[in-house]
Amino acid sequence: MSQQGPIITVSNREGHALADAVAQVKTFPLVDVNWPDAVDALARLRPAAVLVSDVEHNIAALADLARRTAGDEPYLPLIALDPGATLPRNAIPFTQAGRSPERLVHRLNAALRVRALHATLIRRLSNTRTATRMPTNDPIEDATVLLLGRGASYPALSVALGQQMGVIGALSIEAAAKHLNARELDGIIVGDGFTLRVLDAFLTVLSEDSRFRNLPVVVASSPGLLADYDLPNLEIVSGEPRMVAVHAVPLIRQQALEARISRALKSIDVGGLLDPRTGLLTNEAFNRDFETAVTETQARGAGLSVARITFARGQTSERMRLDAARILSRLMRRMDFATLDDTGAIIVVFAETDLRNAHMIARRLGSVLKHTMYSEKRDQRLDPQVALATMMPGDTASTIFARLYTDPHRAAS
């Protein structure tokens, strides 16, 4: 993959394995520096990526390097070889044990692909007049991961990950497959409780499906499992659940950043009409489209219905509402459109649809959200509330909304 700038390798040893591993592939221009010179080289060379080794003896220096790379634009990958239990949130781990040099290059290529996407977004933002803007919060705050497991480590992993991101639990491979097909995820964490044969089959399926090939997959150490699958972001981690979470967070953060960039690029493609946080229409674009749809539908004498999807007070946070909106953006028919309004409700317009069919569609959407969204409180049952209003003769956009918010027909969820 072509990139601007060299690859900096940082180590205090000459002829170290890090430089040797990358040099064997002869893909990237390399500049080898010592730890004391790393920060200066970063400012002077403006690299495309930084690879570091001897991490256990340079924890403070790594933290400083991570702080300086975190705010770079475009995204600057920082990959740490064989890190321990302390790892900055933006330092991608890579465990060398049992891996060929090509595996490191695959990990590096995956990170450089995110950098290339970010560079594309920056260029397109500077050349467009759309109102598209990238969110400024840490991408990990928007991330949702799938946690598989049914052993002793599952509760501890759930807590360690849930403090930083959304977590969807699955006790079986079959349940995990349903979540993978129903929604976009930012990573998969596999705990204990599965045999080697089951793990091998699961990882093989992931590697053979282009939708999941670049997804971060972190497996709590399973004796005998090899990291030779075609999954660039596969990590097998030995240690306590907290250490598994430490190694997983940087990979998940990178994936969440890529998803954020992809949504922003789609928003630019449609002239800024899509909200890059949700993938749904912005409020302004939705209101314009809704008024046009009502006018044209009235002229044709066709049907049109609107659904308002909310959750009980106190059930959802901002992150969960965004999560629901992103799930819905994948479920909607191509003829429908939706937005996340200022109250946190999702408004969906069903084109060419009468109340009876809208009721059926809304029930289905509510059911999928109920069984697909994660709950920040494990003992809390998510219960989407769906309100419906259908267009009557002489209606305008404002009168339909008035009924939707004041005296709607309820659709059971």
Question: Any idea what the CATH number is for the domain that residue 369 is in?
Answer: 3.30.70.270
Q: Where are the alpha helices (DSSP H) in 83-137?
A: 101-126
3-state helix, strand, coil in the chain (%, to 5): 45, 15, 40
Domain enclosing residue 45, as ranges: 1-127
User: Per the domain annotation, does 38 fall within a domain?
Assistant: yes
Do 110 and 54 lie in one domain? The reply is yes
Q: Residue 277 domain-assigned? A: no
pLDDT in the model for residue 405: 84
Whether residue 174 is found in the same domain as residue 238 = yes
Q: Which residues have C-beta within 8 Å of that of residue 308, sequence separation ≥ 6? A: 345, 346, 347, 348, 386, 387, 388, 389, 404, 405, 408
Residues 136 and 102 placed together within one structural domain of the fold: no
Instruction: Calculate the alpha carbon distances from 314 to 28, 44, 278, 380 in Å.
Output: 51, 50, 21, 10
Asked if 384 and 308 sit in the same domain, the reply is: yes
Q: Do 315 and 217 lie in a common domain?
A: no
Gap between the terminal Cα atoms of the chain: 48
Pure H helices in 209-351: 241-269, 283-300, 318-331
Q: Which pair of structure tokens corresponds to residue 202?
A: 């699961």
> How many CB atoms lie under 10 A from the CB of residue 13?
11
User: For position 63, which CATH number holds?
Assistant: 3.40.50.2300
Total tally of structural domains belonging to the chain = 3
122, 140: one domain: no
Whether residue 251 is found in the same domain as residue 353: no
The domain boundary, picked from 127, 149, 172, lies at 127
Query: What is residue 188's predicted lDDT score, i.e. its pLDDT?
Result: 97
Q: How far apart are CA 269 and CA 288, in angstroms?
A: 18
Final residue of a structural domain among 83, 109, 127 = 127
Crossing angle, helix 241-269 and helix 101-126, to 10 degrees? 40
138 and 96 part of one domain: no
- Tokens 């003992």 belong to 379
**Domain boundary at 270, 300, 329, which?**
270
Block means of pLDDT (10 residues each) for the chain, 413 residues, are 75 62 65 91 92 89 93 93 89 83 88 95 84 81 91 88 90 90 91 89 93 93 79 90 93 96 91 90 94 93 92 73 88 92 92 92 88 67 84 93 73 42
- Residue 48 sits in the same domain as residue 147: no
Identify whether residues 295 and 225 lie together within a single domain.
no
